[in-house]
Amino acid sequence: MKPSFSLGIEEEYQTIDPVTRDLRSHVSTEMLSQGKLRLEERVKAEMHQSVIEVGTRICKNIQEATEDLYDLRRNMIGLAEENGLVLVAGATHPFSDWREQEIYPDPRYAQVVEDLQLVARANLIFGLHVHVGIEDREAAIRIMNSIRYFLPHILALSTNSPFWQGMKTGYKSYRAKVFENFPRTNLPDTFGSYSEFENYINLLIKTNCIDNAKKIWWDVRPHPFFNTVEVRVCDIPMRAQESIAIAALIQATAAKLWRLHACNQDYRQYSRALVMENKFRAVRYGLDGKMIDFGKQIEVPMRELMLEYLTFVDDVLDELGSRKEIEYIHTMMEQGTGADRQLKVFEETGDLKQVVDYMARETRAGL
Confidence of residue 101 (pLDDT cuts 50, 70, 90): confident
Determine contact, residues 180/212, Cβ cutoff 8 Å: no
CATH code, domain carrying 244: 3.30.590.20
Q: Is residue 1 part of a domain?
A: no
Is the pLDDT reported for residue 48 higher than 70? no
How many distinct structural domains can be found in the chain?
A: 1
Is the pLDDT reported for residue 27 higher than 60? no
- State how far the Cα of 340 lies from the Cα of 160, in Å rounded to an integer: 8
Q: Could you read off the pLDDT of 102-131 as tens digits, one per residue?
A: 777 677 777 766 777 877 777 789 999 999
Q: Would the pTM count as exceeding 0.85?
A: yes
Least confident of 59-73, 125-139, 235-249, 256-270: 256-270
Q: Could you read off the pLDDT of 191-239 as tens digits, one per residue?
A: 999 999 999 999 999 999 998 888 999 999 999 889 999 999 999 999 9
> Which carries the bigger pLDDT value, residue 283 or residue 79?
283
Phi-psi region of 184 (alpha: psi -120 to 50; beta: other; left: phi over 0): left
Q: Is residue 201 part of a domain?
A: yes
Neighbours of 227 (CB within 10 A): 16
Q: What's residue 108's pLDDT?
A: 74
Q: Is residue 336 part of a domain?
A: yes
Enumerate residues 6+ apart whose C-beta is below 8 A from 252. Answer: 313, 316, 317, 320, 322, 326
Torsion angle in degrees (nearest 10) through CA of 105, 228, 188, 107: 10
- State how far the Cα of 235 lies from the Cα of 116, in Å rounded to an integer: 22
- State how far the Cα of 286 lies from the Cα of 270, in Å rounded to an integer: 21
Q: What's residue 119's pLDDT?
A: 76
Confidence of residue 267 (pLDDT cuts 50, 70, 90): confident
Q: What's residue 76's pLDDT?
A: 93
Q: Is residue 2 part of a domain?
A: no
Least confident of 37-41, 72-76, 99-103, 300-304: 99-103
Confidence of residue 338 (pLDDT cuts 50, 70, 90): very high
Q: Could you read off the pLDDT of 221-233 as tens digits, one per residue?
A: 999 889 999 999 9
| Angle (deg, nearest 10), helices 323-335 and 240-262 | 120
- Report the share of the chain in percent with pLDDT over 90: 78
Confidence of residue 44 (pLDDT cuts 50, 70, 90): confident
Confidence of residue 52 (pLDDT cuts 50, 70, 90): confident
Enumerate residues 6+ apart whose C-beta is below 8 A from 94. Answer: 163, 166, 342, 346, 352, 355, 356, 359
Q: Is residue 33 part of a domain?
A: yes
Q: What are phi and psi of 234, to 5 degrees?
A: -80, 145
**What range defines the domain where residue 237 resides?**
7-363
